[in-house]
Amino acid sequence: MLEITTNHYLVLSALLFTIGLFGIASRKNMITVLMSIELVLNSVNLNLVAFSYQLSDLTGQVFAIFTITVAAGEAAVGLGILIAVFRLRETTALDRSAELKG
Amino acid sequence: MDFLVENGAALLFYLFAAIAVIGALGVVTLRNPMYGAISLLMTFLAVAALFLLRHAEFVGIVQIFVYGGGIMVLFLFVIMLVNLHRLRDVRLFGGQAPAVAVLATLLFVVFGWVFVQARFGPPNPDPRVLDTVGMERLGNSQAVSWALFTQNLLPFEIASIFLLVAMIGAVVLGRRQ
């Protein structure tokens, strides 16, 4: 009988995490970068829930809910910044907003 | 048929894991952010199903409500607000993309190596703790709420202040000067 262990969840979450990381660091479109950040946060939640089951401890699930809260706030503020930048420059390309680059 | 019944949970895990990974790959590779958002929604729903398979019913439903409902609508609104025609001539990846791809693959190999080697033993013999309040089995939502409003009351209140701050911040940022 096939059995799904915590290891399966960890590997899947590592895969989602690295895909999200690739999106954050390589894409030029600000909207896609924000979506990749959501991917990374989601993969962390997957880990928290997997360990909550492994250890029979609810703390992991409670922490996952806090992570979702922070992700929601982050999306709202990030998209607000995106709208402000778009008004200023008429583009969502990240390399067009590089004044702070050293 | 027996095989399907016997390994139902495992097969569902592989199905939803595949959907989640395909959705994630779509997010980082599709040119049109609208398709990317739909692909992201696919990942969110698959991850919610994976939560359900791990006895996290409340987190799974919250995932669908908050991510599938709230955050996704926010993304779709913004994608429709910004002019998509202007995105067409924008380069998809920056010049550092190949290096990032190599590093990400390396990171996944390291993570995967560690995670495959790790031995946790069987899950705690009594997963029913996840839906028990006191001595009574009431359900996962009640158990999570109990943990949230007793042991974690202070973080809960801080989270509500955080949401207020984020809301005010988003309104101020989005306002016309």
Give the tens place of pLDDT for each residue, B85-104.
665 666 778 778 889 999 99
> Rounded CA gap, B109 and B95, in Å?
23
Q: Determine whether the interchain pair A18/B108 forms a contact, defined as Cβ–Cβ distance below 8 Å.
A: yes
Residue pairs between chains A and B whose CB atoms are closer than 8 Å: 255
> Rounded CA gap, B12 and B46, in Å?
10
Residue with tokens 């929604």: B41
Nearest CA-CA distance, residue B136 and chain A, Å: 15
> Rounded CA gap, A46 and A61, in Å?
10
Q: Can you tell me the ipTM of this complex? A: 0.92
User: Which residues in chain B touch residue A26, judged by CB atoms under 8 angstroms apart?
Assistant: 28, 93-94, 96-97, 100-101
Question: What SS3 state is found at B91?
Answer: coil
What residue ranges do the domains of chain A occupy? Answer: 28-94
Query: Residue B11 pLDDT > 60, yes or no?
Result: yes
* Among B42, B29, B89, residue whose Cα is nearest residue A26: B29
Give the tens place of pLDDT for each residue, B103-139.
999 999 999 999 988 888 777 656 677 777 777 778 8
By CA distance, what is B119's nearest residue in A? A7
* B133 beta partners: B136
Would you give per-residue pLDDT tens digits along chain A (102 residues)?
A: 778 888 999 999 999 999 999 999 998 888 999 999 999 999 999 999 999 998 888 899 999 999 999 999 999 999 999 988 888 887 778 777 777 776
Cβ atoms of B29 and A22 closer than 8 Å: no
Burial A89-99 (b: 16+ CB within 10 A, else e): eebbbbeeeee
The model carries a pTM of 0.91
Among A45, A77, A87, beta carbon nearest to B170: A77
Give the tens place of pLDDT for each residue, B148-163.
999 999 999 999 999 9
Give me the CATH topology for the region A28-94.
Helix Hairpins (1.10.287)
Give me the CATH topology for the region B1-93.
Four Helix Bundle (Hemerythrin (Met), subunit A) (1.20.120)
Cβ atoms of A84 and A39 closer than 8 Å: no
* Binding-face residues of A in 45-84 toward B, CB within 8 A: 45-46, 49-50, 52-59, 61-62, 64-66, 68-77, 79-84
Query: By the CB < 8 Å criterion, does A89 face chain B?
Result: no
